[in-house]
Amino acid sequence: MTNHGLTIADAAARTGLTVHTLRYYERDGLLLGVSRAESGHRRYTEHDLDWIDLISKLRATGMPIREIRRYAEAVRNGAGNERERLELLAAHRERVRRNLAEAMEHLAAIDRKIDYHTGAIATCEGPDTALSEPRRAAAADRR
Amino acid sequence: MTNHGLTIADAAARTGLTVHTLRYYERDGLLLGVSRAESGHRRYTEHDLDWIDLISKLRATGMPIREIRRYAEAVRNGAGNERERLELLAAHRERVRRNLAEAMEHLAAIDRKIDYHTGAIATCEGPDTALSEPRRAAAADRR
DNA sequence: ATTCTGCCTGGAGTGCGCTCTAAGTCAAGG
DNA sequence: CCTTGACTTAGAGCGCACTCCAGGCAGAAT
């Protein structure tokens, strides 16, 4: 049938996924009907790649396979569920936003710890470093 | 010995981890010597909780257990490796920053998709909705 | 004296997301 | 004709981070 389009190796190179992962995604219902050559080999279109890029972004922002499958099913079911799809994406967006905000707070806390310790080391390595100084830094690690 | 301090259940409540996870972290070398009551039961100090909060933040920002163990080992080894510890944290910070930036880009792409579709639905549900309209939105989903 | 609760241990089980293997098909090149 | 290499499938295996279980003990309450 469709004897043109990209092979699975090409698609892997273009999307950054492995051929294994591409097949796994398809088996798991994450893709929207990749066509085949007469030989039975997969042939990927640019549309397929766009879709794969989208679900890669969803994955990279933490959406579980399960939920991507639900989304893909909704899309495959055709029209009439745009609202449902949108809600899925919007719900994910909110989760990601919260996670991002939380991660940024954690990062700030880690930053503060690094700054504190950088200061402590500077003190240790200053001109008049005492033998007891390293213990202070070690104790501070437990703060 | 130390018959005061928080029980593992208290520590779980305070840190938001489960008792299972607390024991698992200890077994895996992520903690810095939690003391025991005569009965053999664990007793957590405020210092222990602070440390657990820190490694929870490291976990929440994606640091693998393996690496937290390395960091904990460095801390347990006492003084003389402040630089090493700092480098571990700093390296992690950079990874987190990159991931955050990437996640924000992905989120922006998802936002654009949502916006585009919200527009499409608004069109569909406008005063003069045609029967063929939903197909446009469905096709757009593959973009 | 028994039961209950909360803890202990070593080790098994779970869910996720890949990742890989084995055995087979197909087409092109030597 | 035969090999090479890229593909196919079903299914097994893996690493991670928990999560849970069985069996046991210690102390308080009934």
Q: Which of residues 41-80 of B touch A (CB under 8 A)?
A: 47, 50-51, 54, 57-58, 60-61, 75, 78-80
Q: Is the pLDDT of residue B67 over 90?
A: yes
Q: How far is residue B61's CA from residue B88's CA, in Å, rounded to a whole number?
A: 14
Name every chain A residue with its beta carbon within 8 A of the beta carbon of B115: none
Strand D: list positions under 7 Å from protein Cβ.
Answer: 6-10, 16-21, 26-27
Give the model confidence (pLDDT) of A55-95 as tens digits.
999 999 999 999 999 999 999 988 888 888 999 999 999 99
Minimum mean pLDDT range among A97-106, B32-41, B113-122? B113-122
Output B83 or A103, whichever has higher pLDDT.
Answer: A103
Segment B129-138 shows an average pLDDT of: 41
Name every chain B residue with its beta carbon within 8 A of the beta carbon of A63: none
The candidate with the shortest Cα–Cα distance to A126, out of A139, A113, A137, is A137
Structure tokens that stand for B53 in this block: 């909060």
Report the amino acid identity of residue B15: T
Whether B79 and A138 have beta carbons less than 8 Å apart is answered as: yes
| Strand pairing report for B35-36 and B42-43 | antiparallel
The candidate with the shortest Cα–Cα distance to B92, out of B115, B58, B125, B66, is B58
8-state DSSP, B51: H
8-state DSSP, B136: H
Give the model confidence (pLDDT) of A43-55 as tens digits.
999 999 999 999 9
Give the model confidence (pLDDT) of B97-107 as tens digits.
999 999 999 99
Structure tokens that stand for A103 in this block: 């991660």
Tell me the domains of chain A and their CATH numbers: 8-78 (1.10.1660.10)
